[in-house]
Each structure stands twice: as C-alpha cells, then as structure tokens.
Chains A and B, each alone.
Chain A
C-alpha cells in the first residue's frame, strides 16, 4: 500500500506539532522519522496509527481517505514506546489479543490462533516464556513481545515509537540488526520514530529528518549524511564544524582559507559553512590555502581519534577525526602545529545576519583531492 500524506497541520495548545508536513510512504519501505523531542515525529506516527488526527491536511491510502477510518479499522501493527503490554495477561495472551477481539465471523479458530501465536513466539525467540507476565520479562524481551503482538494481526504496516529508547546499549544494537533482518524477510512497510541518528541511518531505507513540526529533508541515509539540505540537518546528523565565510573582494574566504569558485556569482556576502570532522585535511602543502592550527588535545576513542585543533585565524576550535592507527604513523602529538583545510563542505548563504537561504545550498568539494 502507498500512503500519501499532504499538508498535515496539528496544533497543541502550546506549540505547532506538525507544520505543513507532506510525505509519501512506498510499499515495503523502511522509513525512519528522525528528530529531537518536540519535533512532531511521534505526532505524525500517532496520526498514522489513528491515535491522533490532524487539524488540516489529508492522508490517502491507495487514493482513499485514510483519516476516515478509526484506529481499529486500519489494520496496523504498533509497537508503543513503553510497549503498552497488557500487564494482567501472559505473553501468549498478549500476542493473541488482536485475534481474540475480532468479531466472531472473522475470528480464527482457537487452534489457528494457538498455532500462529506459537509461531510468532518462536520468531521472536521467546519460545519458553509464553506463560510469563510482562513484569517478569527484561526490557529487550518485552520489546519483542510487543513486536510479536503487533505482527499477530498480520498488519499492512508496522509502526514503532522509539523502539529501542528504553533499552541499554548492547541489547539495542542486537535488536536493531534483528529488526532489520525481520524487515527484509517480511517486506512489511515499516515506519519508526527515533531521536537517535545512528539508529536511523543504520536501519532505514529512507530517513525523514524533522524539526519544529516540519520535515527538513527526506532521503536515503547517504544523501542525508553527505548532502544535508538545511543547517539543522547538518548539525543534527553526526558531528560537524561550523564557521562563517565572508566575501572578500570577489572571493569568499574564512580566515585565509578559500573555497574555489562561487556558484552565487557575488549575490551573497556571507555564508555558513559546515565541515564534517573526517573531512578536514591535516597536512596541507604550503602552496594551497589553509589555516595554521595548533593541535591542543588528542582524545582516543577506540578506533577513532578526535583531534582538537585551535585555528587562530578563525578564533575557533575545530574537531578532526582520524583513524587511531594513523596517529603514530603520522607522528601526531599534542602541541604541534598543522596546516588544516576542508576536503569538502556544505555552505548556506545568509542575508546579513538573517536566516540562511537553504534553497541556495552549495556542496563544495576540493578540486584536486590531495591525500592528507
């Protein structure tokens, strides 16, 4: 089924939860709604589930009005943030619930229900825990029961609200992979909400980044990471260095470094530049424009080393990431001076001190990528 969401608005007393949101969801896709808390992602998910309704706007399912149906009629599987397991029912009874409440004409026979529940229990790897109550399960186990319960009704679409939010780091990674495999097996349209960008990038086919009730960008994880559409996306996804670029005569520059070319042909005097830590070159030959930087600290974090570089010309500290094994190969140590320049950057022009003009985004790459 294809879902077409157009121009959704939802206002709560205090704030605009959804602000003119349009989005389409393709059959079988794995979509992440990513954003900070209060960005409207959960509201959007609840509207899909029939647990909330927009003030204006429409949701069409294969061309038909989806909002006219109630939560009961939508045939959706939903995994709630805190799982919402029925605490007075056993794991088996929880999973069977959606089948047992069907009108008797559509209700499967006891044997069929039992068989399906057993199969689902096996699938979520909880074969022996069917007679337990939710309170007797660990967080990861509860999450899988919630998933099995949602899948038992053979839904057209699976919705997950912060599915890994309440789990500790290790369980989280295991369950993430498991969910991805499950999706590949079932090919079920799946939408999940998360505030964890790593989770969204790793799991989803497509990511919708949300902020203040708006969709900032929709795209594949690669596009979101490498070609962020707005300053918000740059700053929210991954780590990033931010600095100002100003027009100096006929060229744009920042503290002695200059991106080559000018797609704006002199229209703007100021722009905000974003550079990922791994996109900083650390030993630029003196023939090329670069910043003189002092290596202040090296933070070794396992396979990656974070370098804290102070650039006097920018009066700013930048962060660069390199593989840990390169540290000694290059003889890097705190206190040394380096010539530093971006390998690529994303720039958004500004009008005076005002807002950025996102539609004028410029993705700049160094012309001759010299090995750093």
Chain B
C-alpha cells in the first residue's frame, strides 16, 4: 500500500511538468499562429459584411483573382511535368552529377524571392541580356504576365520533385521492373504502375506548389511593375490597398488568400491522415 502511494506522489511533479509544457507550447501556437490568422478575418469584417463584399467585388480585385488563377494554371502543370521527369531520372538511374542535379533542384528554396524576380529582370528587362532583342520584336516579359509566370515557376519549381524523390527512392524500382518483365511498354508501365503508386504524393506536391504559386509575393512584386488590373496578382493587390490605407479592402482580399491557405492545410492534413504511408516521410516544403 505504501509503495503505491509513494509511486503516485512521485508521479505528480512529472504530470505537472507535462501540463506546463503543453500549455507553454499551445500558448505559443495560439499567440504566434492563430492570432495573426484571426486578425485577417477580424480586420476584413471590421466594418461589416457589405463593405467586405464591395471590396472583393471591385474590378481590380476580380482581375487580380483572374490573374492569380491564370499564373497558377500555367506554372503548376509545368512544374508537375518537371517534377515527375526529374524524380524519374533521379531515382531510377545512376549517372554522373546526380548529387549536383539534386542540389540544383533545391536551389530555388535557398534563394531570396526578391532575387528570384531580379534574375528575370536582368535577363528580360530593358537593360537585360535579351531585353533589347525582345523590345525590337514587341515581346514584353517584364512588367507583364510572362514575367509573373516565370518568377512563379522559379519559386515553386522544387515542390513536386521534392515530394516525389524520397517516395520513389523508398519504393524502389522492383514493381516497374516486374511490369517490364511482364511485357508492359514504357507508357503502360508509367500509367499502370508508377503513377498509381505516387498519386497521393503527387497530389500533395501539387497542393503545396499551388498554394505557393497563388501566394507568392516577393518575386512577383519585382517583375510586376504594379500595373493595376493588368499585372497585379492577389498578394500584390493586398499590398497596394494596404499602402493606400484601404485596410478593409486589403484584408478582404487577404482573407480570400487566407481561406485558400486554410483549405490547403485541411486537404493536406486529410491526405496525411489517410494516405500518410503513401506520401512517405517528407522534408518540410520550402519557402
């Protein structure tokens, strides 16, 4: 009896320490993550529903939404094709310079977004390498939609490849070899074996890539030129309205982006719960 009593009393301080640690961690999460999120919606609806709806119905807001969708619709599929090709080459073959290729794929993660935009200005801007030639032929890249697309592709390039490479590495090539021995052609092998095996990880990568593509600010702001209605994506529209002291307008557009972020988080979490082992252990995804 006395032994039991002692062990219970010995456990008490530890229990207390656990509770203290949990409360500390939760306090940080609430203050640091939840409060900023709540601020977005609180500020957006500060003056009620009507001003909010007006703010997101303005033509500038609509064109910003359209442009954001357009940029993502071009950038994401291109990076998906790249991600699959890169992962296939990296995980199914041995070749010289493989480590270097892997480092190049990760490179955009460690480059400041501002620099990601800057490099395209240096290539296609008025004083850039190809600038004069393009101007002579009437092609506009910088301060136009192509520049926005290029900068977004640069920023989001690693996402899909980064999800697929560790998974395909872990899965190995035995199933694909089995398909070959059973007589499958290259495309049959890809569509019937490879793609089904990576589908959830691919969706996961697309999700992260898309969230980043729609939300990118730094790189896009450098190449955009901030022409209202023409080259302002949603994050840029947020910035412009904020700098014009149109706080409700800024937070209204921001709330749409925040909703996108929440949706992304929800689907991502769902994927992790349901298909965790088919997505595999992954390093956190970049910027």
Contact = CB atoms under 8 A, between A and B. Distances in A.
Interface of A: 49-51, 70-72, 74-78, 80-82, 84-89, 97-98, 101-102, 149-150, 153
Given A78-B178, A80-B174, A80-B178, A87 B197 contact: yes
Interface string B189-217: 00011001100000000000000000000
Interface string B155-186: 00000000000000000001101111111110
A71 B185 contact: no
B112 interface: no
A78 B176 CA distance: 12
Interface of B: 174-175, 177-185, 188, 192-193, 196-197
A101 B188 CA distance: 7
Given A76-B181, A84-B177, 19 more contacts: A49-B177, A51-B180, A71-B181, A72-B183, A74-B181, A75-B183, A78-B181, A84-B175, A84-B178, A85-B175, A87-B197, A88-B197, A97-B182, A101-B182, A101-B188, A101-B192, A102-B183, A149-B178, A153-B182
14 contacts: A49-B177, A50-B181, A76-B181, A80-B174, A80-B177, A80-B178, A84-B174, A88-B196, A89-B196, A97-B179, A101-B185, A150-B182, A153-B182, A153-B183
A49 B179 contact: no
B175 A71 contact: no
B193 A71 contact: no
Nearest to B182: A98
Given A97-B192, A101-B188, A101-B192, A86 B181 contact: no
A371 B75 CA distance: 86
A97 B197 CA distance: 15
Nearest to A149: B182
A78 B180 CA distance: 10
A80 B179 CA distance: 11
Contact of A72 (B175, B184, B193, B197): B184
A49 B179 CA distance: 12
A161 to B, nearest CB: 10
A344 B179 CA distance: 51
By secondary structure, the B interface counts as helix
Contacts of B178: 78, 80, 84-86, 149
Q: Which are the 10 A-B pairs with shortest beta-carbon distances?
A: A98-B182, A84-B174, A84-B178, A101-B184, A88-B196, A71-B180, A78-B181, A101-B188, A84-B175, A71-B181
Contacts of B174: 80-82, 84
Contacts of A89: 196
Contacts of B193: 86
B185 A72 contact: yes
A71 B181 CA distance: 5
Contacts of A98: 182-184
A87 B192 CA distance: 11
A102 B181 CA distance: 12
Nearest to A72: B183
A235 to B, nearest CB: 32
A78 B183 CA distance: 11
A76 B182 CA distance: 7
Contacts of A150: 182
B281 to A, nearest CB: 18
Nearest to A159: B181
Contacts of A102: 183
Q: Which of B183, B184, B185, B188 has the most CB of A within 10 A?
A: B183
Q: Which of A50, A75, A98, A150 has the most CB of B within 10 A?
A: A98
Contacts of B185: 72, 101
Contacts of A97: 179, 182, 184, 192
Nearest to A76: B181
Nearest to B199: A88
Contacts of A149: 178, 182
Contacts of A101: 179, 182-185, 188, 192
A102 B188 CA distance: 10
Nearest to A74: B181
Contacts of B183: 72, 75, 98, 101-102, 153
Q: Which of A84, A149, A153 has the most CB of B within 10 A?
A: A84
A17 to B, nearest CB: 14
A9 B177 CA distance: 22
A49 B181 contact: yes
Nearest to A88: B196
A325 B185 CA distance: 61
Q: Which of B178, B180, B181, B184 has the most CB of A within 10 A?
A: B181
Contacts of B182: 97-98, 101, 149-150, 153
A64 B139 CA distance: 59
Contacts of B197: 87-88
Contacts of B175: 84-87
A279 B180 CA distance: 49
Nearest to A46: B177
Nearest to B174: A84
A14 to B, nearest CB: 13
A81 B177 CA distance: 12
Contacts of A82: 174
